[in-house]
Structures are given as structure tokens and as C-alpha cells.
Structure 1
Amino acid sequence: MKNIFLIGTGLIGGSMLKDLRVHYPQAIFYGIDQNIAHAQKAKQNGIVDEVANLSDVSNADFVIISIPVDATLKVLPQVLDLINEYALVIDVGSTKEAICKSVENHKNRRQYLAAHPIAGTEFSGPDAAISNLFVKKTLIVCEVEKTTFKLQELANQLFEKLRMRVRYMTPAAHDKHIAYVSHLSHISSFMLGKTVIQEEENERDIFDLAGSGFESTVRLAKSSPAMWTPIFAQNKENVLASLDGYIENLSRFRESVKNNDHQSIFQDMEETNRIKTILKGIENGK
């Protein structure tokens, strides 16, 4: 590959380019960003070689779209309009059903692969990009059968170089499952942070009393609202379902506390302790 384009020069796309540079030292890496300062920062940081415009993707061999999911709905069809017949286009958004549907009838649909790397941090922008972010992380691929086989092979080579584990799902299954394991955890973090800020008016008290447990639980509340608001909007029905279950459990726990039902409190926590086994299996690559 000679020309690799990144649309959205932030954490995920920037981290991908950092790793791909190692494997494609002769390639030229281009950055496109609505925020020109971000694109220039990505060049300064060595993530991209050149700042480009959207029209330049006509020369691309590979295009990564790493922007908020509402913007992807607009930009992805434009990119597919512009690319040459050999180029591969992927997006890395946290929702898949609406994005896949937006190009289902596009003449160049077979050059697009819908992907979602389950990786990241709470930080954003070009300075957040880090090497080896995707090692042993899961990558969800949707509607792989709609991508031409030759480009499937190219995509698999790229994912192997990033050392990711690939799983295949339908867009609907992806959006349902990710609402529980990702979207709900972000909502919980944001709302816990909001509750503490509301109730603890003295910021010094929060700083002095917050332990590592609180810090790790609200870590995701540092995430970009500009990225997460469109995600919640696009995955509305699944987010609502996950919230219903979460609120039901919180309400039941509240009643147990109110009624001094310590046995129910203990039982709820003991049953949930099996999450340790589940997460240990994930850490071990099972």
C-alpha cells in the first residue's frame, strides 16, 4: 500500500497509524480532519506525513474513518463516491447498524468493511494516540460477506499486523451487546461523576476523599461528549433497554438498603463476584 488516509486524527485512528507505520515504512500517511489544528498536530506528532482534503482520497489505497458516528453517516458515502476501484475503506465507530444501512445500496459498498475495535482510553485528540493500543484486543467486524473477498484478505492482514482478535457479528447483534458492555458503562461513569459533583460542592473534599475505586469508576467520564452523544442517539433502543435493567437493579438494591435486608445485599454482590472469572478469561484471551 502506498497511500493510507485517516479521516479523524484522534485516539483510535492515530493509534492505528502509529502501528501501521512500522509495517508500511514506504507508505505515505495522510490526515484529514475538520479541526485543522488536530490535523496539523497529527503531522507534528509524526502520525501523518501530510494534511489532506477529502477529495484527495481518490488516490487512497486504504481509508480509515475515525470520527463521531453521526458524522460517519455523512462522510462514508462521500468517501465511497470518491475512491478508486482498488481501495479499502473501514470505519471504527461504536455503532454499526445505522452506518451499515447508510451505504447498503451504494455502488461501491463492496469496498467497505464495517469494524469496531474494542480498545481505547478516556482521552481524545492526536496527543492521545499511542502505540500497541490494539494488541490482543477484540475487533468486531460486521457484514463481512458484503465486502469483496480480496479486500477482506487485505483487511485481515492489517488486523493481524495490529495483533487484534477478530469476531464477526451482525450490526444488530453488535449494537445490542455493545450497549451493555460499553455504552452503559460510559453512562454510569458520567452519571456517577455528575451525582458526586452535585452533592459534593467542595471540590477539595472530592480530591481528598476520592480513592482509587472512585477514580477508576469515573475514568470514563473524562471521555468526549462530542463522540458519545451521537453514539447514544444512534443506539437509542438498545441503550434504553440496558438502562432499564440497570435502573431496576439499582432500585432493588436501594430497597434492600432501606429495609435493612442485608442478606439480599450480600447475595447480590456475591452473585456479581463471578464477573472476576469472566474478566480473567478475557485477560487470558479465552
Structure 2
Amino acid sequence: MNVYIIGIGLIGGSMSLDIQEKYPAAVMYGIDTNDAHLEEALQRQLIHKKATVSSMQNADIVIITIPVHVSIDIITEVLNTISDDTLVIDAGSTKEKICKSIETHPKRRNFLAAHPIAGTEFSGPKAAINGLFAGKTNIICEVEKTAFTLQEKALELFKHLGMRIRYMDPKSHDKHIAYVSHLSHISAFMLGKTVIEKEKNERDIFDLAGSGFASTVRLAKSSPAMWTPIFEQNKTNVIETLDEYIANLQEFKALMVQDNFEGIYKEMENTNHIKKILNGIK
């Protein structure tokens, strides 16, 4: 099996490691605009060979794990190059614009839009780890537009990687992911920004920061090169979630100003319900 990974970072590299474990005969090809990443991927045995898009006529599976703003052009180029039997999987964090961009492509049947809900705050080949996707949800969009035999191939792959499958239309995907993922990253970035700006005057602030701060701000270490395009592609949904989030912050501040700590207690008590929701996420 010839597998081409476009973008040898956390997601692409981790997927390559797991594929090699589950499919020992697989030959892993790497494509990346950063040649240093390719060299590191070879050293870490994330890939077996370097490649280019123009050389992937022998590909059985192509997995695209690059920033979403460049995915659209690359996906089209890949679909123009592959054979009729090749499965092309996009693993990006937004789906509506990507699916729209190739809806009339002659090889639309070869394409599967997916979003593995897995990752860390780290990036690059060095971030790749075994078992990243085990037990994680993988959202698949417009599965009915993918050829049935290629659907089967994709589902077998995802099963071997240990992922749970959830089906969703691209518009709903982008709306829901804005709340549970994109807003979390914005919150972390802005919390980090606030503390960094305050730290200029109060040098002790990081000495006092405990595990709560570290876990809350962890996502602020994520790559701006990856997240800026995500916010751009999902702008409408992100702004909607920000409006609601800011309104909640303003309401909390108003309760503080009013010395209404009973109201604050009730707000937090009501929000504790999220424990029951998160307990179902492993």
C-alpha cells in the first residue's frame, strides 16, 4: 500500500506512525514545503521517501494535513493527478469551504472530508506520537459523495487507528467546532496575552501560576500559522461564538461589580453540569 502524507506535522506524522504499525507493508511518502521537516521525518522514520504531488499516480491513499487556507488548491491538484482508485482524505479543521470548492470536480468521488478530533499544542515532525487517534472522534462530512469502495477503505483505516466515527454535514461541522474547539483556542491565546502584558509590570505573576493556569493556557502554544487560517475560513461562526462568550464575560463582570456573589455561585453551579458531559469523553 502506497500512502502519501501531505504535511508531516503532528497529525500527518502521528497518522503515519500508526499506519506503519497497523500496515507493516505500507510505503509512506512525505510531501511538505519545508524540506527540513521532510529530513526530520525521514530521520524519525515517519516516512520512507520524499515525494511530490506530481509523482503520486501510484498512490493508494493520500492524506492531507496542511493549513486549511492552502488545502483547497492542493486538494484540487491532487484530484487532478491521482488514479481513479485513489482515496484522498482531508483532515483539516474546517469543512464547508473545502467541500464547496471541489463539489463539481470530476473526481469528487475519490475525496473524503474528515476531521480527527485529536491533537496537542505542539507542531512539526517532532510532535508526532503513536496512538494519538485511539478512542478519538473522527467527523466525516458528505460521506455519500465518496465512492462506496473508497468509503470502505477509509473506514477500515480509521478503525485500525482506533477512531470513533461521527457523520455530519460541513455547515453543521463548522458551526459546532467553532464552539468546542475554535473558541477554546481564542480564549487560551487571549488569556496568555493578558498575562504576558501584565507580567511586564508584575514579575512575580508567572512564579505564582499553578497547574490551573498552565492547563488553561496550554492551547496558546499552538501554531498561529495553522490557527489564523482556521479562524479566517470559519469567520462567521467564530464571531457568533465570540459574541456569546463576551456577553457571558460581561454578565460575570456585572455580577462582580454589584457584589452579587450569590449570582456568581449560581452561575458556576449551573455550569458544573458540564462535568456530566465531559465524563462521557475519554
TM-score (norm 1): 0.97
> In the alignment, residue 37 of structure 1 is paired with which amino acid?
A
Give the total of aligned pairs: 282
Q: Name the residue aligned to 2:177.
A: 178
Q: Name the residue aligned to 2:107.
A: 108
What is the CA deviation profile of residues 84-103 of structure 1, one whole-angstrom value per residue up to 9, with x for unaligned ones? 11100001000000000110
> In the alignment, residue 75 of structure 2 is paired with which amino acid?
L
What is the CA deviation profile of residues 50-85 of structure 1, one whole-angstrom value per residue up to 9, with x for unaligned ones? 111111121111000000000101100000000011
Q: Name the residue aligned to 1:54.
A: 53
SS at match of 1:282: coil
What is the CA deviation profile of residues 132-171 of structure 1, one whole-angstrom value per residue up to 9, with x for unaligned ones? 0011100000000000000000000000000100000000
* Larger CA deviation: 198-207 vs 99-108: 198-207
Q: Give 1:207 deviation, angstroms.
A: 2.8
Alignment of 1:1-286 (within 5 A): 2-201=1-200, 204-283=203-282
CA–CA distance in 1 between the matches of 2:238 and 2:142? 22
* Larger CA deviation: 150-159 vs 49-58: 49-58
> In the alignment, residue 22 of structure 2 is paired with which amino acid?
H
CA contact (8 A) 2:199 2:206 kept: no
SS at match of 2:264: helix
CA–CA distance in 2 between the matches of 1:279 and 1:231? 24
> In the alignment, residue 19 of structure 2 is paired with which amino acid?
L
CA–CA distance in 1 between the matches of 2:102 and 2:122? 30
Q: Give 1:281 deviation, angstroms.
A: 1.4
List alignment gaps of at least 5 residues for structure 2.
none
CA–CA distance in 1 between the matches of 2:203 and 2:24? 49
CA–CA distance in 2 between the matches of 1:264 and 1:39? 55
CA–CA distance in 2 between the matches of 1:90 and 1:205? 47
CA contact (8 A) 2:140 2:168 kept: yes
> In the alignment, residue 241 of structure 2 is paired with which amino acid?
S
Q: Give 1:268 deviation, angstroms.
A: 0.6
List alignment gaps of at least 5 residues for structure 1.
none
Q: Give 1:206 deviation, angstroms.
A: 3.3
CA–CA distance in 1 between the matches of 2:52 and 2:168? 33
Runs ≥4 residues deviating over 6 A:
none
> In the alignment, residue 226 of structure 1 is paired with which amino acid?
A
RMSD in angstroms over aligned alpha carbons?
0.9
SS at match of 1:218: helix
CA–CA distance in 1 between the matches of 2:89 and 2:202? 43
TM-score (norm 2): 0.99
CA–CA distance in 2 between the matches of 1:3 and 1:154? 13
SS at match of 1:213: helix
CA–CA distance in 2 between the matches of 1:203 and 1:88? 54
CA contact (8 A) 2:178 2:238 kept: yes
